Amino acid sequence: MNSLRHEYPRTWQRRSLGQTLRAWLWLAGAALAAAWSVSALDIEWAFFADAHVQAADLIGRMWPPRWAYLPTILRPLIETIHIATLGTVIAVVLALPVAFLAARNTTANQFTWLIGRAILVGSRSVNTVIWGLIFVAIFGPGPVAGICAVAARSVGFLAKLVAEAIEEVQVGQVEAIAATGARTSQVWLVAILPQVLPVLIGTAVYRWDINVRESSVLGFVGAGGIGLYLYASINQFAWPQVLVILIATSVIVLVSEAASAWVRSRVT
């Protein structure tokens, strides 16, 4: 009968003592990491004192935007989209074999699987701009380096998602096609490819709109597109031009994002 008279607390508490302690420990750990990071960065806090003045000054210099500059940047804007599109197309072509190599159920053996995975990791862990730096050193400045950079970064992204889709295809269709006596290549083409095609197209279109955003800065390392003009305008302190470029870039990115969302809503 003793257990029935167990005392319940009179006031409601959301967490037990242990939970509260653990939550505070996590917070303390995060705060410690943050404190270490900030203190080790050697920040000159005096810079922050007049930050708002500096920012207001910058905006004051940018305004009003110099719209007369718009015709000059029309071509580089189109070039930016070209770089994104062509880079994505090349990436799609390259990503398909890599995806089949990196999917456990289509790869030939452990070794080929490792090669596929290595390509995925290598391509994905280097940023588009750094790929740009590398390809500018190879091909010289210009849109070719930009296209290669976009393609090199997108291959891993596309192949990873398509490989995951390949690993999750329905086995029934694969077995049915294999039962007709089809060769491996025919099984891939007829049973697997149609199943992953929506994923491929969806991710390719999604990657394209990321790539439009990425190619807007490829010009900073000389890989073509609008970034070159932005960099030049900033270095000449031509702030009203900078504002025009920023507005134009943002419009293009927004439009491509909307277009990509529309296409994806129709495909999947």
* Residues lying near another protein in the complex (CB under 8 A): 14, 30, 33-34, 36-38, 40-44, 47, 51, 54-55, 58, 78-79, 81-83, 85-86, 89, 121-122, 124-127, 129-130, 133-134, 137-140, 142-144, 190, 194, 197-198, 201, 213-214, 216-217, 220-221, 224, 230-231, 234, 246, 249-250, 253-254, 257, 267
3-state DSSP call for residue 179? helix
Nearer to another protein, 7 or 44 (CB): 44
Residue 244: how many other CB atoms lie within 10 Å: 24
Nearer to another protein, 81 or 166 (CB): 81
CB of 82 to another protein, least distance (A): 4
CB of 103 to another protein, least distance (A): 18
Burial letters 154-192, b for 16+ CB under 10 A, else e: bbbbbbbbbbebbeebeeeebeebeeeebeeeebbeebb
Please provide the DSSP assignment of 53-107 as one string. Answer: HHHHHHHHHHPSP-GGGHHHHHHHHHHHHHHHHHHHHHHHHHHHHHHHHHSTTTS
Nearer to another protein, 36 or 108 (CB): 36
CB of 6 to another protein, least distance (A): 26
Residue pair 229/168 in contact (Cβ under 8 Å)? The answer is no
Nearer to another protein, 56 or 108 (CB): 56
